[in-house]
Amino acid sequence: MGIEQRRNPRRVVEGRIDVYDTIAECSAGILGDVSSGGMLLIASSPLPDDALFQFRFSLPDGGRMLPTVEVGAHVLWQAPAGAPGQHYAGMRFIGLEPSVARMLKQWSETGL
């Protein structure tokens, strides 16, 4: 088992949470995991390297959904996923509003 090198604890998302690209006005993929610093996006096609995005999604919280958040995200890395036609993309959040940053931090740390 490897040593965790992330700065922020991450929490795996249970179920299917769709991520919406607000600029292109289309689905970007589904959420794999989230931390206060970024997320894993499971996309149906590779994303442009080093690209910037504006995403919208809602997180589950004990049987209900939290308010929808909008985040800026930067593609840090990509790799083919195990399923045909799927790609993992590691994203770093940028320019988060303080209230969104607090909510993501609290949500990602409650799953520890």
pLDDT tens, residue by residue, 5-17: 557 788 998 889 9
Predicted pLDDT of residue 6:
54
pLDDT bucket at 1, cuts 50 / 70 / 90: very low
Count of CA atoms in the C-beta half-sphere (13 A) of 93: 24
DSSP summary character for residue 64: E
Predicted pLDDT of residue 2:
42
Count of CA atoms in the C-beta half-sphere (13 A) of 107: 26
Average pLDDT over residues 33-38: 94
Domain boundaries, the chain: 11-110
Residue position matching structure tokens 């994203």: 91
3-state secondary structure of 78: strand
Predicted pLDDT of residue 68:
94
| Percentage of residues of the chain with pLDDT beyond 70 | 93
Predicted pLDDT of residue 3:
42
- CATH homologous superfamily of 11-110: predicted glycosyltransferase like domains (2.40.10.220)
Question: Using DSSP, how many helices (H) and how many strands (E) does the chain show?
Answer: 1, 9
Give CA–CA dist 112/58, Å, rounded.
Answer: 19
Q: Which region, left, alpha or beta, applies to residue 62 given φ > 0 means left and ψ of -120 to 50 means alpha?
A: left
The average confidence (pLDDT) of the chain is 90
Higher pLDDT, 1 or 63: 63
